[in-house]
A = this chain, B = another copy of it.
């Protein structure tokens, strides 16, 4: 039966590219579910995601999801299963380090809450900012309260939105409180111990895929 929970797979062999595709499948399934679509074939899901059907089947089979012959996948079931695999079957508690423009933008980023991430607070050393709130109500606390907030709110993930020069010192403080997963927006190399997962976002990479497109397709102005 589609509702039977299946064992989780070990994480080590799964690349970040695969987890990014799982996120993409989840987005598509959420859109389908919202439209009242009950079942989808691997081909239908692949078309929706601009991927090929064999890759979709392979990804899902790896996680023990095989679909039903003649039916495909049950949308609600597959959605729930992917959420479980991605750790989204419970809320993830997030704290943002740095209350600059980026920190405020991330605090109010609608996608985080929609996908089950709960931004608890922004932390900053600027006393003038402490106590202020983002538009969506996320409060700025002082960095000195980091340890207390991590313990009180069971923080899972720290988001690093400080300038490059402060990044290593702040990441060291966050890791010392026991946080094991960090999303980093600062540039440059950061050192973390082996038990900590650091994911760095380089926004220039996205711009470069666009400049690649422009360079290769020929610039009518250029």
Are B212 and A85 touching (Cβ within 8 A)? yes
Q: How far is the CB of A58 from chain B (nearest CB, A)?
A: 15
Docked complex Cα distance between A24 and B84 (Å): 30
Q: Is A199 an interface residue (CB 8 A)?
A: yes
Are A105 and B101 touching (Cβ within 8 A)? yes
Q: Is A110 an interface residue (CB 8 A)?
A: yes
Given A112-B203, A207-B115, A210-B197, is A215 in contact with B8 using a C-beta cutoff of 8 Å? yes
Given A181-B213, A216-B11, A221-B154, is A23 in contact with B204 using a C-beta cutoff of 8 Å? yes
**Which A residues between 135 and 169 are near B, CB-CB below 8 angstroms?**
154, 156-157, 159, 164
Q: How far is the CB of A60 from chain B (nearest CB, A)?
A: 15
Contacting A209 at CB < 8 Å: which of B16, B209, B219?
A: B16
Contacting A203 at CB < 8 Å: which of B109, B156, B157, B178?
A: B109
**Which stretch in A36-44, A66-74, A87-95, A124-132 binds the other chain?**
A87-95
Are B211 and A86 touching (Cβ within 8 A)? yes
With a cutoff of 8 Å between Cβ atoms, the chain B residues found around residue A16 in the complex are: 209
Q: Is A22 an interface residue (CB 8 A)?
A: yes
CB 8 Å contact bits of A102-113 with B (1 = contact, 0 = none): 101110111110
6 interchain residue pairs of minimum CB distance? A87-B215, A11-B216, A87-B211, A102-B105, A101-B105, A181-B210
Q: Which residues of A contact B (CB under 8 A)?
A: 8-11, 14, 16-17, 19-20, 22-24, 26-27, 31, 84-88, 92, 94, 100-102, 104-106, 108-112, 114-117, 134, 154, 156-157, 159, 164, 178, 180-183, 187, 189, 197, 199, 201-217, 219, 221-222
